[in-house]
Copies of this chain bind each other. A is one copy, B any other.
Amino acid sequence: MECKKNAPIGVFDSGVGGLTVVREITRQLPEENIVYFGDTARVPYGSKSKENIIRFSEQIIRFLLTKEVKAIVIACNTASALALDAVRDEFDVPLLGVVVPGARAAVEATHNGKIGVIGTDATVHSHVYTKEIQKMKSDVTVQEKACPLFVPLVEEGFKDHAVTGEIIDHYLSSMRGSEIDTMILGCTHYPLLRSRIRTYMGDNIQIVNPAYETAMDLKKILKEQDMENPQTSQGHCEFYVSDAAEKFKSFANSVMPFDIESTRVIQIEEY
């Protein structure tokens, strides 16, 4: 099994957002190798149907399996929400989403049992966070809000622009006026707006980034299954996308703590 221990972790997302999860995995599991796939030809997922998100996820998992990954992290909240249950039994590899770890972290964090969740249209309309949270603790109330403009604002470099503050106000004013004490950033792009959201929501709200808990869960699964990479040197990351490799690379270099040397384009529809 030595070979399998050295095998990479597969991580995928609709685009660049999942890099916030990769960032967390490389921090907590620096010795692991990673193969990342960003579906930049079909981004965004948040406005698309369950059927297509399942089909896209199956293609990507089949691609990652050609890289002999030992586990796969669905770093996209939308795909975790809409596809994980549907594809779990199809593939013989541990599959991990970001929703359950995020829900658990929020349940542990809340004092008053009132949690807010923000995400894409698809994630919010699936109510998957509410379902997972109430499975863990039935008396917690959950308020959900779709913030579909946050992704293009991040992707188009408006992170620090004044209008982003107004759009945050547009989406989050009702949540700020509510009694929630914990908020889940239910989209992998949103940690890139964390400080803006923090400033707007105030210091009394605990902000949960599911990426952190997901990396913790991954660590636990690898340990339980005795699949941790025994190497002590820094793991290697490979990046694949379905389109526009250069744009991805330049965005990735602004998010990741190390330089990304190359990104390869593949035809994901062929998998």
Q: What sequence of 0s and 1s flags, for each residue 248-271 of chain A, a beta carbon within 8 Å of any chain B beta carbon?
A: 000000000000000001000100
User: Chain A: interface residue count, which band?
Assistant: 20 to 34
Contacts of A161 in B (CB 8 A): 170
CB distance B149 to A153 under 8 Å?
Answer: yes
Q: What sequence of 0s and 1s flags, for each residue 134-177 of chain A, a beta carbon within 8 Å of any chain B beta carbon?
A: 00000000000000110011011010011100110010000000
> Pick the contact of A247 from B42, B47, B153, B158 — CB < 8 Å?
B47
> Pick the contact of A149 from B158, B162, B166 — CB < 8 Å?
B158
CB distance A163 to B167 under 8 Å?
Answer: yes
Instruction: Let me know if A87 is at the binding interface, CB within 8 A.
Output: no
Instruction: Let me know if A86 is at the binding interface, CB within 8 A.
Output: no
CB distance A244 to B47 under 8 Å?
Answer: yes
Known A48-B244, A244-B47, A269-B269; contact A163-B152, beta-carbon cutoff 8 A: no
Instruction: Let me know if A49 is at the binding interface, CB within 8 A.
Output: yes
Contacts of A167 in B (CB 8 A): 163
> Pick the contact of A48 from B40, B47, B158, B170 — CB < 8 Å?
B40
Q: A41-B48, A47-B247, A163-B166 are in contact. List 19 more A-B contacts (CB 8 A).
A: A40-B48, A41-B42, A47-B155, A47-B244, A48-B243, A49-B243, A49-B265, A52-B242, A52-B243, A148-B152, A148-B156, A149-B152, A149-B156, A149-B158, A163-B163, A163-B167, A163-B170, A166-B166, A269-B269
Interface residues of A (CB under 8 A from B): 40-42, 47-49, 52, 148-149, 152-153, 155-156, 158, 161-163, 166-167, 170, 242-244, 247, 265, 269
